[in-house]
Amino acid sequence: MNRFTLKIKMKFLLIWGVLFLFSGLNSIQAQEKKVQFIIHTSLGDMKGELFNETPMHRDNFVKLVKENWFENSYFHRVINHFMIQGGQNADGREDAGYTVPAEFVPEIYVHQKGMLAAARESDNINPTKASSAAQFYIVQGKIMSLGQLESIEEKINSGRKQRAIDNYIFFSGNEKRLYKLEALRNAKDNVGIKNMRNEVYNEMKTKGEAPAEFYYTEEQKKIYTTIGGTPHLDGAYTVYGRITEGWEVLDRIAATPVAGSRPIEKVVMKIEIIE
């Protein structure tokens, strides 16, 4: 191979490498790009984005918007300093006929003001915390104290611990513990039940099978103590988007006069996906 041919080949490889690099960067940027939406209401517009970390909820929301599910529907449940809820069809149907599996990422997204989240049925009939396909709410909330956040952390960790213990006891191979638990329950031996559950949890910790504990980051604490939100819902309802513009519209809707929690004058909406 002569020098001229070698130079041409090296130049080609360099150009190809640069093109490959830019192609890779464009691919990464495309993956990071978030779906944008606008909620047009009779009290103003709210612009927002959907999170890529909750793909099932993101895609379902886009699907319903494109099917015009929310067209001319309204916010039917409004509680000032808490949230505004919508999602029913314009003809009054509140249920789209299916649910969406929970996608919890509380370590990233919490219920700060402006967050878009999915409503759902209560735990007693919905233990997996699956989301309503259509019902959503936007958090307004209120400013919290550090003490309140610590109490909520304890509640979240306690719930995780109890669910993990239940799953461990009911796991195949732990029948003896299950029979013992039933015997203690029949005997109404609450102290014995508590001791047994603590014993199980210590065993889980020894094996490295105990759930990771949840704590708010310093940034999240700052958000809740300055912007506010509804932290008691963290880890229980899927947060899958947020309002980026139009917080004053959120406040306006939340403050609208209600009968019970239903606005006296309908706040009609239309949702648009920004392509």
Average pLDDT, the chain: 88
Q: How confident is the model at residue 259 (pLDDT cuts 50, 70, 90)?
A: very high
The answer to whether 220 touches 110, Cβ cutoff 8 Å, is: yes
**pLDDT category of residue 178 using cuts at 50, 70 and 90:** confident
Given its phi and psi angles, is residue 75 left (phi above 0), alpha (psi -120 to 50 degrees) or beta?
A: beta
User: What confidence tens digit (pLDDT) does each residue in 87-142 have?
Assistant: 988 887 888 999 999 999 977 889 999 999 999 999 889 989 999 999 999 999 99
183 has a pLDDT exceeding 60: yes
Of 19-23, 76-80, 206-210, the range with the highest mean pLDDT is: 76-80
- pLDDT value, residue 1: 55
HEC readout, 106-164: CCCCCCECCEEEECCCCCCCCCCCCEECCCEEEECCECCCHHHHHHHHHHHHHHHHHHH
- For residues 13-32, give the mean pLDDT: 43
pLDDT in tens, 130-161: 999 999 999 999 999 999 999 999 999 998 89
DSSP 1-48: --HHHHHHHHHHHHHHHHHHHHHHHHHHHHHHPPPEEEEEETTEEEEE
User: What CATH number does the domain located at 36-143+227-274 have?
Assistant: 2.40.100.10
Q: Give the orientation angle of helix 190-207 with respect to helix 146-170, to 10 degrees.
A: 90
Residue 175's pLDDT is: 81
Which percentage of the chain shows pLDDT scores above 90? Answer: 72
Split at pLDDT 50, 70, 90, the class of 19 is: very low
Q: How far apart are CA 156 and CA 235, in angstroms?
A: 7
pTM for the model: 0.79
Place 22 in a pLDDT band, splitting at 50, 70 and 90.
very low
Across 88-92, 253-257, 271-275, least confident range: 88-92
Domain boundaries, the chain: 36-143+227-274, 147-207
Checking DSSP bridges between strand 83-86 and strand 77-79, what pairing results, if any?
Answer: antiparallel
Cα separation values, 191 from 106, 123, 144, Å: 33, 26, 35
With tokens 């099932």, the residue in question is 56
- What is the pLDDT confidence band of residue 14, given thresholds at 50, 70 and 90? very low
